[in-house]
Amino acid sequence: MGDRTILHSDMNSFYASVEMLHHPEFAGMPLAVGGDPEARHGIVLTANYIAKRKGVKTGMALWQAKQICPEIIFVPPRMDLYLRFSQMAREIYSEYTDKIEPYGIDEAWLDVSASRNLKGSGITIAREISHRIKYELGVTVSIGISWNKIYAKLGSDYKKPDAITEFNRENYKSMIWQLPASDLLYVGRQTRKKLQKLGIRTIGELAESDEAMLESHFGKMGIVLWSFANGWDDDPVCKDGYTAPVKSIGNSTTTPRDLEDDLDVWIIQMALAESVAARLRKHGFKCKTIEITVRDNGLFRFSRQKQLHHPTNITDEIVTAAFQLFKDYYKWEHPIRSLGIRAVDLVLDDIPVQLELFGNQEKQEKLEKMDRTVDEIRRRFGYFSIQRAVMYQDKVLSHLDAGTHTVHPHSYFHG
């Protein structure tokens, strides 16, 4: 059968590229996504290439970025928007293979071995994907091609932006082995320092090192790194299955006034649960866990989680779980200043579910149908066009527009 053909596709300066699409007025200007632009708090999540050329780096504090590049424009992150682009890219990838393994929100491995007879060589497929991402989505990708995942990822990092690099059996020693060992996946700062103490600075030096010596210094990881450096990686590209490409979807708010009783809390939690459930449905997810956060006006803050009996994106089930958590853990020593609800442990909404023996499947289907009807009405006529009856209990609290959402992608948690 011969070698596999693995692609690694990495969307260039992804968050910033998407923002530049939506802000044509910033064309030609340095831009960074991250933190609170008004307060200048937080860090740079990503910057466009104009800002990068001036020294702005991911992970840099906003105030540092401003010092280096005084004309830089900061915009807050909009994870739901980036997720939408990620999913559109995924739809393009799926036309070439069903073996797609996401690595964060902006990167993915593709095993196109079975597509070569129909779609052409790895380089042909990579060029076609690159062209389609650029002209259908308006952003660029860098794609690496190799017979294994590690070298394919090295290829996408090798030249940016908007580039395609192939590492094959003929060129990998001349191209890869000269690269710093720190370019290899899983070689972090501490591992790099340890390797340098052993006189190992390049991937080639790592590949030609004594395997037993590496094992004595790094344990099993030493053998793994030695294998990676030599291109001996047969790890399969795993189909994504039912795992969601984000960690959680949540919403929180500082309330229009302090909350003083359970009804106040129920109104706000209902608004938050509606927004979280709507976002779950929009992106095709269900959650297996609900988390709440509570902060009172005495500055006491806590968060609690509750695992659900089954995955859900139904508003009633989410708010019921959240309110039960609140009742179980809050004792009303002070009025409440802010509340949050987060859907955690996400799965795709077509995951097979074991029906509960004494559950009411018909009721769940009716609730989900009602939720989707509300989604459509609000999409067409605005958030306040349809409200639950409980919202009329308090005009101040019900005026909260919980239509803003926070989405936390995998890439926040995997470097």
CA angle 121, 126, 128 (to 5 degrees): 100
List the beta bridge partners of residue 56.
none
Spatial CB neighbours of 412, under 8 Å, sequence gap ≥ 6: 247
Nearest to 151 by CA among 195, 180, 183: 183
Annotated catalytic residue: which of 107, 274, 317, 368? 107
Cβ 69 vs Cβ 56: under 8 Å: yes
Q: How far is CA 180 from CA 99, 154, 364, in A?
A: 30, 11, 55
Q: Give CA–CA dist 66/207, Å, rounded.
A: 41
> Which DSSP symbol is given to 113?
G
Which is it for strands 141-146 and 107-111: parallel, antiparallel or unpaired? unpaired
Tokens in use for 54?
Answer: 């001036």
| Host H or E run for residue 32 | strand 31-33
Q: Give CA–CA dist 63/401, Å, rounded.
A: 31
List the beta bridge partners of residue 46.
33
Q: Is 10 annotated as a binding residue?
A: yes
Tokens in use for 413?
Answer: 């948690």
State the SS3 of 290-309. EEEEEEECCCCEEEEEEEEE
Nearest to 306 by CA among 285, 321, 316: 321
CA angle 80, 85, 91 (to 5 degrees): 125
Task: Report the SS3 class of residue 400.
Answer: coil
Task: Report the SS3 class of residue 261.
Answer: coil
260 is catalytic: no
* Amino acid letter, 202: T
Cβ 64 vs Cβ 53: under 8 Å: no
Residue 257, φ and ψ in degrees, nearest 5: -150, 165
Q: Is 261 annotated as a binding residue?
A: no
Cis peptide bond upstream of 161, omega within 30: yes
Q: Give CA–CA dist 272/268, Å, rounded.
A: 6
Could you list the residues known to form a binding site for Mg(2+), using ranges. 10, 106
Could you list the residues known to form a binding site, using ranges. 10, 106
Which residues does the annotation mark as catalytic? 107
